[in-house]
Structure 1
């Protein structure tokens, strides 16, 4: 790399408590008991374990039911990560440093890649969060009832709820630090940039879900078989298209709001409101239809997603509770240690939405038992899905 320690990253690293110049190499393992604080290894274990279990579930589902959708979500999200994140870590190496400065710095965790830029848990959080959101929506039969676009919007909404719980506590616990002087991060919503709240929490998973369902999911629903080669190239294409979609979807804010942080923030929020309204209506109607037995469109019960959603929310609730004393003692948006606080009321609203989404997956009628039971009318659609 042409510059491992760009000035902005070096400054952020110092504020997080580590030295950029000493931040390992391509790969580094640290003592989990010697990290910045105890919340870092807890977060790391929760996310990495969840991603591994999600991958195992995806492989099992492909082998048992011939359905590669979960596997494509997992690797499509990972492909998206490696397309989007490296240029943000090393703008000079990618020749974009005149236009894009360092936006943030992660703290160092147990397992690190790329000279302290990329913790393993960040690699894991993309496929885990995408799986939780996609499968929550898919299990309610939203894609089959309302189509690819509305289903993708619902995925973005659910992902947003799960992600913002994490996003609004990270800076306070020194999981990462934003460069607030970077205009790309403006406007800020307490300790979180509005672009992160909208683009990375809602629009990128929406884009990924759209192409997963368009190129794989809906064809699996129609009974199509995929070879290993077809799954591989479609996954790569989905990662590329998902990243392009993430650049296209925020255009109203990035272009029309180019001259004003206020206008840009308003347009970002307007996009999020549209996503939320569409998703709330679609998810609510699907849940009510399933509860009343009025739907002939089946979904299925994803045992991993139902259980691990509860695990994730439980861990995040614990971390929030332990952070509350410092949060409420904060002055002018910063704790006594100088760490910025997020918006607790927004995080609480996201908790409520996420819990309701999880409850929806537990309270729709299911037939039989097991981790992949169909819900809805008694029939065997899995037979038509087998490869």
Structure 2
């Protein structure tokens, strides 16, 4: 048996269509035409292109407006990735086998790292998603100085969940990854997705990351303080490294009903209340921001990428619907688990409303404050 392929990993990767034995510990390249299905290379292209677009946009924001927050968020999201992902892939390496166990397995994509556990597109999705949510919220004027970092972070957490779950609810059906449903940490579920993932990963993590970057990087810059490379570096590292701690803290309410005999119903109720509260508060805050108006200029990134993201996922969902509707007890003929249709539909609707709010913004009635290089804050 391979040190990175225990019986659980072997079973789950076999269901995905590949073996976790005899894999390259560094990087593996594959022909996109040889992947499990055509949706995998389409997903890769969408996410990797989004991360590159986000990086170009972040550099442009720094050079044109003197605002390093976007670039810091881009790199801090990668720090967060490399803090959180390896322990999930290899809990035995970190002494977490008893606490964490085998969590899930990604399918193999065109470019794969770390014993075929980490696809390149997963590395890319962290900066792509964090930048998408941050830019949509920023474009509505939420991060203007009078609004504050906390309100902006809550809005980012809400927007991030909406856009991410359109992807997350589809992945298991199309064999992009598979959860280990025998792992207690993956219960309770929203269809095929752990509720912990919906709340803690898709919302709390990116909201916290945004809050820390705005406080540590954005606000000093907006007040006219120029941050050197060394000062930026430690702030980026601290922000990325602190995110998993915030997720642990946010997970405490549901964990009260855990232990040796967990109450799944109670945990599900707690998480559902938290998700509902985020939707209500996030929607109210974004609506208030839209009514106030914004002086922020719409950038090419925010005009293009969120629309492309939703359009591609609309196509992917359309392709998945025949098997989705033919599924029995939440499982397709191919043996994969489907997502939750009403929740996903709601995410699509809210995402479209967010885009409409950005495209049809009111001009701010208040005079914009000026930051470095004339950027509004």
Shorter chain as normaliser: what TM range? Answer: over 0.9
Question: How far does residue 218 in structure 1 lie from its aligned partner after superposition?
Answer: 2.2
Query: Is the counterpart of residue 347 in structure 1 residue 344 in structure 2?
Result: yes
CA spacing shift, 1:377–1:100, aligned 2, 3 Å: same
In the superposition, relative to structure 1, how do residues 171 and 375 fare at CA in structure 2: closer, same or farther (>3 Å)?
A: farther
Among 307, 312, 315, the alignment partner of 1:318 is 315
Gaps of 5+ in 2: none
Aligned-partner Cα distance in 2 for 1:192–1:5:
23
337, 354, 358: which is aligned to 1:357? Answer: 354
Aligned ranges 1:26-41 → 2 under 5 Å: 26-41=26-41
Structure 1, 197-206 or 157-166: larger mean CA deviation: 197-206
Alpha-carbon deviation of 1:306?
2.5
Q: Distance in 1 between matches of 2:16 and 2:120?
A: 18
Contact 1:140 1:286 in 2 (8 A): yes
Corresponding residue for residue 371 of structure 1: none
Comparing 199-208 with 309-318, greater Cα deviation is found at 199-208
Aligned to 1:273: 276
Deviates most, 252-261 or 332-341: 252-261
Q: Shift of the alpha carbon at 1:148?
A: 1.5
Cα deviation for residue 209 of structure 1 reads 1.1
- Could you tell me which runs of 5 or more consecutive residues in structure 1 were left unpaired when the two chains were aligned: 291-296, 367-373
Preserved contact between residue 103 and residue 178 of structure 1 (Cα < 8 Å)? yes
Q: Over aligned residues, Cα RMSD in angstroms? A: 1.8
Normalised by the length of structure 1, the TM-score is: 0.92
Superposition pairs for residues 209-220 of structure 1, below 5 Å? 209-220=210-221
Aligned to 1:255: 256
2:106 aligned residue: 106
Supply the distance in 2 between the matched residues of 1:328 and 1:179 (Cα, whole angstroms): 24
Match of 1:284 in 2: 287
Cα distance in structure 2, aligned partners of 1:380 and 1:100: 47
Is 1:160 the equivalent of 2:161? yes
Per the alignment, residue 51 of structure 1 pairs with 51
CA deviation profile, 1:330-379 (whole Å, cap 9, x unmatched): 1111111111110111111000111111111111146xxxxxxx996477
Q: Aligned with 2:93: secondary structure?
A: coil
Give, in whole Å, the separation in 1 of the partners of 2:375 and 2:148: 18
Structure 1 pair 376–57 and aligned structure 2 pair: CA distance change class (3 A):
farther
Counterpart residue number, 2:61: 61
Question: Is the Cα–Cα contact under 8 Å of residues 292 and 365 in structure 2 kept in the other structure?
Answer: no
CA separation of 1:376 and 1:59: change in aligned 2, threshold 3 A: farther
Q: Alpha-carbon deviations, 1:60-107, whole Å to 9, x = none?
A: 221222111001111111100000000000011111112211111000
What is residue 190 of structure 2 aligned with on the other side? 189
Question: What does residue 70 of structure 1 align with?
Answer: 70
Query: Is the 8 Å Cα contact of residues 32 and 41 (structure 2) preserved in structure 1?
Result: yes
Q: CA deviation at 1:275?
A: 1.6
Q: Distance in 1 between matches of 2:220 and 2:281?
A: 24
1:383 CA displacement = 2.6
1:151 Cα deviation after fit: 1.2
Using a 3 Å threshold, how does the CA distance of structure 1 residues 277 and 24 change in structure 2: closer, same or farther? same
Measured after TM superposition, the shift of residue 301 of structure 1 is: 2.0
1:175 alignment partner in structure 2: 176
Counterpart secondary structure, 1:112 = strand
CA 1:225–1:384: 2 relative to 1, 3 Å? farther
- Number of equivalences: 372
Cα 1:376–1:135, aligned 2, differ >3 Å: closer, same or farther? farther
Whether the 8 Å CA contact 1:225–1:385 is kept in 2: the answer is no
Check the 8 A contact 1:108/1:116 in 2, yes or no: yes
Cα shift at 1:17 = 0.2
The question of whether the paired residues in 2 share the 8 Å contact of 1:190 and 1:342 is answered with: yes
